[in-house]
Amino acid sequence: MTAVAARASAPARAAPLDVAAVRAEFPVLAGTMNGRPLVYLDSAATSQKPHGVIDRVARFYASENANIHRGVYRLSADATAAYDDARRRVAQFLGAGAPEEIVFTRGTTEGINIVAQSWARPLLRPGDEIVLTTLEHHSNIVPWQLVAAQTGARIRVAPITDAGEVEADAVAALLTDRTRLVALAHVSNALGTILPVTRIAELAHAAGAVVLVDGAQAAPHLPVDLRTLGCDFFVCSGHKMLGPTGIGVLWGRAALLDAMPPWQGGGDMIETVSFDGSTWAPLPAKFEAGTPHIAGAVGFGAAVEYLERVGLEAIGAHEHALLAHATARIGALPGVRLIGTAPAKAAVLSFVMDGVHPHDIGTILDAEGICIRAGQHCAQPLMQRLGVPATARASFAFYNTVDEVDALAAGLLRVREVFG
């Protein structure tokens, strides 16, 4: 995955990244696949993990493991402190107003479903409208379809340009006095398009709507400041941010979260319980029923600390350079057509090759030790709009190198040889 490829210029100038030193911190990158040096170009699906994250999770299980918020003994207190510190670190990284606005979830998908069922379902009435965009991930489509069926609301979809852009005016044209929610990606997982979320949020708020931003593909690579981004809900996943799988974040404005009923019931999300009824714990515990993924949260905290130490400016500059190089190299190959050419892009390169299915491209590259994603990328409506059954997708991270981009180009020439 990715960094800023700004509309008119590269990201802010930063000290050059020592990529060799960075790669030494990611043990999997020193490995091989099918007898070849591993070239991992699938970070939009999940990022690799540095030693610091791996070691932090291992240390928690080795010396701190206990359930949180339940024990008066020292080990439980230490585990609770580590969990709470992770929340504080994530809140700081995202620019949240307070740690209590950060709800730990299993990931982006769960965060969206919480908003759909706890905020939208009680609120929406027949004829109310939810506005999405054509390039959304299924995780930002299906939950809204479910809640629309439950409430009688309807979904309206903003179009995209042939280059894969979402124009703010196209969203504005759909806003009415029945619009209750605008839900959109910050960065497209399939194309890398960076959406004008702040401008769209302004338009949506002027129409009286609430805004949810799917930040799964943005949070590891773009500076995110929730105090200025303009949205009301923001979701992201730890595993795309160098952290463990099964952990993520739902951020919401405190007033909205306070007014929402719990999504799940159980231990730790209650204040009082009797057979006559129960009352709820304050934020964020109200939305964290049961024993959470404590080690995952601790690892997530270590991941954002690592990202801050490397620096998003340095990450952005390096990934911008990778994207520019890959766009030139891959786009010049015979029979290759790039899919998604918006001027504002993150380092995701989707493409098709004449006469070759993307799955075949992926299979041949696998034999060369190269990992890419091939398919519809959980974005079937987008593929239909673009008129392709699927694409091959290379997604870059700051631990990738120009040599790996060149290896991808050489691998695609090998694909061309095989298929003639």
Q: Show which residues are catalytic.
A: 378
Strand 210-214 versus strand 233-237 pairing type: parallel
Compute CA distances 137 → 82, 215, 288, 377, whole Å. Answer: 33, 11, 25, 8
**Sign of torsion over alpha carbons 385, 387, 390, 391:** negative
- Are the C-beta atoms of 242 and 1 separated by less than 8 Å? no
- Asked if residue 25 lies in contact with residue 32, where contact means CB atoms within 8 angstroms, the answer is no
- Cβ-contact 285, 269 below 8 angstroms: yes
The rounded distance, in Å, linking the Cα atoms of 135 and 191 is 8
Q: Which residues contact 87 (CB under 8 A, 6 or more apart)?
A: 99, 102, 104, 284, 297, 301
Token pair 């995110």 is at which residue? Answer: 224
Phi, psi of 108 (to 5 degrees): -55, -45
